[in-house]
Chain A
Amino acid sequence: MLSVTEHKEIEFSADLISKFEEIVTRYPEGKQKSALLPVLHLVQAEYGWVSPEAMEKVADFLQIQAIEVYEVATFYTMFFLRPQGKFVLEVCRTGPCCLVGAEKIMTHIEKTLGVKEGEVTADGNFSWRGVECLAACGMAPVLQIGPEYTFYENLTEESVDKLIENLKNKI
């Protein structure tokens, strides 16, 4: 999963660092490791994924071992361990969504984008994947798009087409 062949140095911006510093103040002295999840979310929002280099930098900042960051980043499914499309469509694939057509929506997205689950379109703009229950079963089927995790509810093939068109216009 973790590539160590290409090591690209990265530098977090002063703005990002100041956000990290604010987060650390939420916990008692010496418990700065608690900031790990919120910090990784900020890193992913900035870079689109969590690279091994970014993980090492996060470890340096929080004064913990790099392995402590790796084991967390690989455990939680929200963190991307490789580059994704500019927009990642995450479709809920769990029971209640499937009762009202989530599988059809995923097939439609695969066909429309022309890439399989987890792959990135040639222009680098889109990728998609099925995710487990998003706790929005009453508005099913649903999908979300990071990094703000905007929600799209009661999906139909038509509403998905419209959404993808709107996203293309944002590029």
Chain B
Amino acid sequence: MARKLLLENINVPGIHTFDVYRQNGGYRAVEKALKTMTPDAVVEEVKTSGLRGRGGAGFPTGMKWSFLAKPEGRERYLVCNADESEPGTFKDRYLMTHIPHLLIEGMIVASFALGAKTSYIYVRGEMMPQIRILERAIAEAKNAGFLGKNILGSGYDLELYVQPGGGAYICGEETALIESLEGKRGNPRIKPPFPAISGVWACPTVVNNVETIAAVVPIINDGGEEYSKIGNGRSTGTKLISASGNLNKPGVYEIELGLPVEEFIYSEEYCGGIANGKRLKAVVAGGSSVPILPANLILKTINGQPRLMSYESLSDGGFQTGSMLGSGGFIAFDEDQCIVRNTWNFSRFYHHESCGQCSPCREGTGWMEKVLHSLENGHGKMSDIDLLVDVSKKIEGNTICPLGDAAAWPVASAIRHFRDEFEWHVTNPKEVMEHNYGLAKYADPLPKLEEVASQN
């Protein structure tokens, strides 16, 4: 069995309560940090661990923390991003539901490291049950002296609050989240200034994902050095993967980074293979915004190496033949699924969730949705396929926040790898309404690198 750092005790009955969590070694990291370490030493430990942001961007957490401005007399804030909304991602919900004290413990240690006296956990509004769970856990921790004034006699004070969102994917973007926390529409801010200089209420702010904050606990308990030994290369530690789609055992799995994708999909320890005895057609490996890959390219890189679940291996080959680890939202498509329909569905999502500030995203996502809808329903023209590529290129890189890129990539990658299926929708408008394209060649042995290049 692979090593587990976050979910080790997830099956212990009552682990969601303070007492059971504490009996199982909980809050040791708070004791260690507050009683034996300086805030800077905690930051250093996180730097040593090599931990990278688990929300999707993969930015080194310790470095992000060290950018935080510390002007005299100004408050600093830590905000946890629990606005989990990226299609295919549901690990934070799982963690908050089953082991809420792990997040709270991480919040206390991270707040101490950053010198924050008030911290917030911004939870998407739909997760009302999780908000209740966290509020209860915070009350328990406060009651036990781990929150409030003079925690464990260390002289450090911290208040922790839960803030609900209102149903907007864009608030997962850190500056939109900050706007939302200020009681405004979730419109991303122009950067710079970065939140580390001017975040919530114009004060220096760090925004970290739930899983990132939780990972601070084992890092402090065992040391950053130990943590960095787990994983593969610059992908250190463990990662929660949300597995969904046509799998025998969808769910949240903690993996050591570097696990082969094939093992993750087919072994009994993880997803147990494709549901209903079907064959794998495609995978979106890191949440809906990362490029979709056909079965052959998700299992092996273009150089014929086994593809691994790590930041580097999943992005091997760039966008031509690779993808991204992203948030770890792993969506598997079986041979019966229609890639055009799914691409339309994702485009509708991004159109719906665009905040509307930047015209390339506001207008472009709408046009992509419309063109994909007509293709999917057998009303498309061959030129529509290139039109989609053109629109996606005009959105990518031309918006304030990464939602534009997130909307462009799924469309561009679906056409890059599944152009035959798009063309079939144009040439066979009647069949489109009766059945799907099927597996075709998408699980065949890999084409040569030159062939892939010449197709694009």
Query: Are B185 and A75 in contact (CB-based, < 8 A)?
Result: yes
Question: What is the CB-to-nearest-CB distance from B429 to chain A, in angstroms, rounded to a whole number?
Answer: 20
Interface residue tally on B, bucketed by range = 35 or more
What separation, in Å, do the CA atoms of A151 and B131 have in the docked complex? 14
Whether B111 is near chain A, meaning CB under 8 Å from some CB there, is no
The interface residues of chain A lying within 8 Å CB-to-CB of B182 are 31, 33-34
* Chain B residues with CB below 8 A from A98, complex form: 341-342, 345
B90 contacts A by Cβ under 8 Å: yes
Also in contact, A78 and B167, with CB within 8 A (given A96-B244, A140-B244, A151-B129): yes
Q: How many A-B residue pairs have CB under 8 A?
A: 156
Given known contacts A76-B167, A96-B87, A136-B90, A148 and B128 CB-to-CB distance under 8 angstroms? yes
Q: Which of B126, B165, B185, B243 has the most CB of A within 10 A?
A: B126
Please, how many angstroms separate the alpha-carbon atoms of A104 and B331 in the complex? 20
Which chain A residues numbered 55 to 108 have a C-beta less than 8 Å away from chain B?
A: 62, 64, 68, 71-72, 75-79, 93-96, 98-100
Q: Would B128 and A149 count as touching, CB distance under 8 A?
A: yes
| Residue B67 CB within 8 A of the other chain | no
Residue B288 interfacial (CB < 8 Å): yes
Which residues of chain B are within 8 angstroms of A64 by Cβ–Cβ distance? 183
Q: How far is the CA of A71 from the CA of B355 in the complex (A)?
A: 12
Closest beta carbon of chain B to A59's beta carbon, Å = 11
How far does the alpha carbon of A76 sit from the alpha carbon of B169 in the complex, in Å?
Answer: 10
> CB distance B246 to A78 under 8 Å?
no
**Is B92 in contact with chain A by the CB < 8 A criterion?**
yes
Cα(A36)–Cα(B349), bound, Å: 26
Tell me whether A149 and B183 are in contact (CB under 8 A).
Answer: no
Contacts A132-B169, A138-B250: A37 and B126 contacting too (C-beta < 8 A)?
A: no
CA A148 – CA B159 in complex, angstroms?
Answer: 25
Contact with B along A127-171 (1 / 0, CB 8 A): 000011111111110001011111100000000000000000000
Q: Does B56 contact A (CB under 8 A)?
A: no
Question: Cβ of B185: which chain A residues have Cβ within 8 Å of it?
Answer: 71-72, 75-76
Docked-complex contact B288 and A95, CB < 8 angstroms: yes
Say whether B244 contacts A37, CB under 8 Å.
Answer: no
Interface residue count on the A side (C-beta < 8 Å): 45
B238 interface contact, C-beta 8 A: no
Known contacts A95-B349, A135-B92, A149-B128: does B163 contact A38 (CB below 8 Å)? Answer: yes
- Chain B residues lying within 8 Å of A72, measured Cβ to Cβ, are 166, 183-185
Complex CA–CA separation, A62 to B184 (angstroms):
13
**CB atoms of A99 and B246 under 8 A apart:** yes
In the complex, the chain B residue whose C-beta lies closest to that of A38 is B164
Q: Say yes or no: is B127 at the interface (Cβ < 8 Å to chain A).
A: yes
Per-position 1/0 for B335-364, Cβ under 8 A of A: 001000110011001001101000000000
Residues of A within 8 A of B84 (CB): 135
- Interface assignment of A35: CB less than 8 Å from any CB of chain B: yes
Contact B169 A133 (CB under 8 A): yes
B125 touches A37 (CB 8 A): yes
Most chain B beta-carbon contacts within 10 A, residue among A35, A36, A137, A139: A137
The CA of A132 and the CA of B369, in the complex, are separated in Å by 15
Q: Does A41 contact B (CB under 8 A)?
A: yes
What per-residue 1/0 map shows which CB atoms of B98-122 lie under 8 Å from chain A?
A: 0000000000000000000010100
Q: Is B331 a contact of A96 with CB atoms below 8 Å?
A: yes
Interface assignment of A26: CB less than 8 Å from any CB of chain B: yes
User: Is the C-beta of A109 less than 8 angstroms from some C-beta in chain B?
Assistant: no
B181: Cβ under 8 A from any A Cβ: yes
Query: Quick one: which of A76, A132, A134, A138 contacts B166, CB cutoff 8 A?
Result: A76
Which chain B residues border A28 with CB–CB below 8 Å?
A: 75, 118, 201
Q: Which residue of A lies closest to B82 (CB)?
A: A135
CA distance A82 to B75 in the complex (A): 40
> From residue A84, how far is it (CB to closest CB) to chain B in Å?
14
Are B163 and A37 closer than 8 Å at their CB atoms? yes
| Chain A contacts for B118, CB-based, 8 A | 28
A40 at the interface (CB under 8 A from B): yes
Interface residues of B in 233-275 (CB under 8 A from A): 242-246, 250-252
The distance from the CB of B208 to the nearest CB of chain A, in whole angstroms, is: 18
Q: Which residues of A contact B169 (CB under 8 A)?
A: 132-133
Give min CB distance, A91 to chain B, whole Å.
12
The answer, among A26, A40, A144, for a CB contact under 8 Å with B126, is: A144
Q: Is the pair B128, A75 in contact by a Cβ cutoff of 8 Å? A: no
Q: Which of A26, A62, A77, A150 interacts with B167 by CB under 8 Å?
A: A77
Q: Interface centre among B159, B164, B168, B183, by most A CB within 10 Å? A: B183
What are 5 of the A-B contact pairs (CB < 8 Å)?
Answer: A28-B201, A76-B167, A132-B87, A137-B88, A138-B242
Pairs of residues from A and B, 6 with the lowest C-beta to C-beta distance, nearest first:
A76-B166, A137-B244, A78-B167, A36-B183, A33-B183, A149-B128
